[in-house]
Amino acid sequence: MQMFIGGEWVDAADGQTMESIDPATREPLTVVPSAGADDVDRAVNAARAAYESEQWQDMLPSQRGRLLNRLAADIRANADELARWETLDAGKPLAQSRADVEVAARYCEYYAGVADKLLGETIPVRPDLLDYTLREPLGVTAHIVPWNYPLQIAVRGLAPALAAGNAVVLKPADETPVTALKIAELIERSEWPSGLVNIVTGTGPRVGASLAAHPGINHVTFTGSVPTGIAVMRAAAGNVTPVTLELGGKSPNIVFADADLDEAADWVVKSIIQNAGQTCSAGSRLIVERAIHETFVERVVERMKALTLGAGIDEPDIGPIISQKQLNTIESYMELACGEGVTIRTGGRRATSPPLDRGFFFEPTVIDGLSADHRLAREEIFGPVLSVIEFDDARQAIEIANDTDYGLITGVWTTNVHKALWLAGQIRCGQVYVNNYGAGGGVELPFGGYGKSGFGREKGLEALRGYTQLKNVAVRIKPNAR
């Protein structure tokens, strides 16, 4: 495959390439350009030229909306192909890839609908002053995308950025370049200005670092790990370029004794096994009331034991881990599963029975008896590994939930509305779910972190505002002018 720069399909300037593999089999899937700084430069220049073109500057907001609606329709029309590629490239079960494709279409539709509703305000100052605000695009926005939701996260940034009138340079993750390139094929089919959307494939240190440091970039949206997010922020600071960082979490499900325990157990499992636990908002901590600890954990363990593992294309419950590197990281965490009362209730190792030995599979795992300060209860493992901690009362549950560097999302499970609302107010994180978790794809819901989970918001109208800058205009009105 080639990458998409300035409306053309091109190789890297220096001809370098890199391979993407199917993590279920380790078989090569495709070869893409491994771009360098020169290619990034070319893409940023192409985006700038498209941004400044009359075609884009004169395009009505409603027309931008129509183009996004067309993209949504094209994504849906190609859903089978996109989902299949996503599954082969990222490993996730086909049903999850299909859901991601639908969410990508929904992002386009949602932001299409608001492209012509980017309203300003009038500010009452004095009778002789008309003061108003305008929401203007930023210019060229860069999007550095991780491997866990390659299509969904690419479109999550691209759609609001375009709706707000920006031009885009997007770098897919090294491991999962395919579906972003497929989106470029769809964009090429309709009347977007040539060069408005550029997809540059390559490694983080080459393409990602050049993009973040490029003086022609007006905003960087980064999703990935904390150390890389810090590097991106540092690089962008050199040009005073604003960044949105979405850096993952150690999100808890807090389960009280009065909850519907079967329902809660279903969701606790779903929230940690989705995409094999490689989800920034995975419910990776279970904070459970001591009175129901044993019965509830047993329900979770039973469900985890019943899950099937396999290549995503065969529709298992859990697909492979993305790479050998990530599998090694998960495995290394298992060595920490020791200490007073700590037990691995199920899983805890690679899954190696044929044909799983061909790929990177890890058994769904429950680690019980952890204290809040244990590394397994604090660090993002990014695999199907659930860390269990007990609490005695609501106040302690809040303390445990907040005792982390992260703050992305929290699930609260109780039938007591007072308790639920009190917790929702006390918990330090960007999103709280009561008696559900990460429901419905959440296209409309502002999403982002507190603490080391990052800052800035994606999804919803908040994200759209994040791709604009605010201008204030003050006009003096001369009384009795003739």
Interface residues toward ligand NAD, by CB under 6 A = 144-148, 171, 173-174, 203-205, 208-209, 212, 223-225, 228, 231-232, 246-248, 280, 329, 380, 382
Nearer to ligand NAD, 208 or 369 (CB): 208
Residue 105 CB, nearest distance to ligand NAD (Å)? 21
| DSSP code per residue over 203-242 | -IIIIIHHHHH-TT-SEEEEES-HHHHHHHHHHHHTTT--
Geometric angle at alpha carbon 311, from 100 and 384, rounded to 5°: 70
Residue 225 CB, nearest distance to ligand NAD (Å)? 3
Distance, CA of 282 to CA of 248 (rounded, Å): 9
Report whether 35 contacts 12 (CB < 8 A): yes
Residue 159 CB, nearest distance to ligand NAD (Å)? 18
SS3 for 286-309, per residue? Answer: EEEEHHHHHHHHHHHHHHHHCCCE
Catalytic option among 86, 109, 175, 246: 246
Nearer to ligand NAD, 164 or 236 (CB): 236
Residue 215 CB, nearest distance to ligand NAD (Å)? 16
Residue 381 CB, nearest distance to ligand NAD (Å)? 8
Catalytic option among 86, 109, 175, 280: 280
Nearer to ligand NAD, 212 or 423 (CB): 212
Nearer to ligand NAD, 220 or 269 (CB): 220
Beta strands in 13-67 (DSSP E): 17-22, 27-33
Closest CA to 154 of 168, 137, 138: 168
What is the amino acid identity at position 210? Answer: S
Distance, CA of 187 to CA of 193 (rounded, Å): 10
Distance, CA of 374 to CA of 98 (rounded, Å): 37
Q: How many CB atoms lie within 10 A of CB 341?
A: 9
Look up 185 and say whether it is catalytic.
no
Nearer to ligand NAD, 325 or 349 (CB): 325
Residue 191 CB, nearest distance to ligand NAD (Å)? 29
Nearer to ligand NAD, 36 or 165 (CB): 36
Nearer to ligand NAD, 380 or 390 (CB): 380
Residue 278 CB, nearest distance to ligand NAD (Å)? 7
Report whether 59 contacts 72 (CB < 8 A): no
Residue 383 CB, nearest distance to ligand NAD (Å)? 8
Distance, CA of 477 to CA of 241 (rounded, Å): 36
Look up 246 and say whether it is catalytic.
yes
Q: How far is CA 133 from its chain centroid? A: 31
Nearer to ligand NAD, 385 or 398 (CB): 385
Distance, CA of 23 to CA of 28 (rounded, Å): 9
Dihedral angle of Cα 425, 429, 433, 439, to the nearest 10 degrees:
150
Q: Which long-range contacts (CB under 8 A, 24 or more apart) does 68-72 make?
A: 68/108, 68/109, 68/111, 68/112, 68/115, 68/159, 68/162, 68/163, 69/108, 69/109, 69/112, 70/190, 71/108, 71/159, 71/183, 71/186, 71/187, 71/190, 72/105, 72/106, 72/108, 72/109, 72/112
Query: Which residues are known catalytic residues?
Result: 246, 280
